[in-house]
Amino acid sequence: MEWLKMNWRKLIPPIAASVLILTFILYTKSHTAGVPADSFIPVSDGLDPISADDRADPSAAVIFVDVKGAVEKPGVYKAEEGDRVIDAVARAGGFLRDAMPDAINHAERVRDEMVIYVPYITNEDGGEDGVIPPPVYGADEGKVNLNTAEAEELMTLPGIGPAKAEAIIAHRTEHGPFAEPAGMMEVSGIGEKTFAALEELVTAK
C-alpha cells in the first residue's frame, strides 16, 4: 500500500490509455453491428468488364448474286462480302458436266446484284462415247460472239461488268454488228488494255 500511495500518479497514464482503447473498440462494434454485407461497396480495380457484344465481330455485309448457266441449281444465292465467284458456284451445286469452268474468273470477288453466267460447251457433232470435249480457245468454239451474246454472256469476259456489257449491246444496236473483235474499242469504256485481256476470248461473226 505504501508503494501505491507513493506511485499512484505513475499509474494514471497507462490506465487512461487503456480506457480510451476500450472505449474506441466498443464504439466501433456498436456502429457496425447489424449492417448488411451488401451495403459495403467493393473497391473497383479500374477495369471495365467486356460484354459479349464487345467481343462479337461485326457481321459481314450480306449480298445476293444470280448464278446462271451450266450449274446444278441456277438461282439467286446469298453471299458475304469477300466471297469469290467459285464460292457462289459451289452454293449453286457446282458445275455441270458440259460447263466451261475456265470461261469465268474463279477468284473474282462477288458483289451485290452480280450475275455469274457459266457458259455451256457447244458441240453439235457430239463427242466419242458421249464425251464432250473441252473448249478450244484457239478457234471460234468457246469464244463469245460480240454480235449475238446477251449481257449475261458478255459479263463472263474479264473486265466486262453490267455497264460495259450493256454498252456493247447498245453500240451494236445503234451501229450494226461488229466487223471484227477490235471494234470493241469503239465502245465507251473499253480501251486497248481491256481489249488485250479478252482478244482471244471473243469473235465477231
* All residues at 6 or more sequence positions from 102 whose CB lies less than 8 Å from its CB, including other chains: 134, 135
At position 149, the amino acid (one-letter code) is: A
Residue 167 in domain: yes
Q: pLDDT truncated to tens, each residue of the chain (205 aa)?
A: 566 566 666 667 777 777 778 777 777 766 555 555 454 444 444 444 444 444 444 556 789 999 999 999 999 999 998 899 999 999 999 999 989 898 899 988 898 888 898 988 864 444 433 334 444 433 445 688 998 889 888 988 888 888 899 999 999 988 899 999 999 999 988 888 888 888 888 998 8
105 and 64 share a domain? yes
Asked if residue 101 and residue 155 are part of one domain, the reply reads: no
Residue 133 lies inside a defined structural domain of this protein: no
pLDDT at 123 (0 to 100): 44
* Shared domain check, 114 and 68: yes
Give the residue from 68, 97, 124 where a domain finishes: 124
Examine the domain organization and report whether 69 and 98 are in the same domain. yes
* Domain end residue (candidates: 71, 101, 124): 124
Predicted pLDDT at 23: 78
CA distances from 198 to 33, 45, 100 (A): 89, 65, 16
Q: Is residue 2 part of a domain?
A: no
Query: In terms of Cα–Cα distance, which of 141, 137, 151, 153 is closest to 200?
Result: 137
pLDDT score recorded for residue 72: 93
Give me the pLDDT at residue 50, please. Answer: 41
Total domain count for the chain? 2
Q: Are strands 62-69 and 114-118 parallel, antiparallel or unpaired?
A: parallel
- Show Cβ contacts of residue 15 under 8 Å, excluding neighbours closer than 6 positions: none
Q: State residue 43 phi and psi, 5-degree precision.
A: -75, 130
CATH code (residue 98): 3.10.20.600
CATH of the domain at 169: 1.10.150.320
Question: Residues 117, 150: one domain?
Answer: no
Quote the pLDDT of residue 139: 40
In this structure, the answer to whether residues 105 and 152 fall within a common structural domain is no
Output the pLDDT for position 60. 60
Q: Tell me which residue range forms the domain holding 184.
A: 138-205
**Distance between CA atoms of 160 and 90, rounded to whole angstroms?**
22
Q: Does residue 98 sit in the same domain as residue 143? A: no
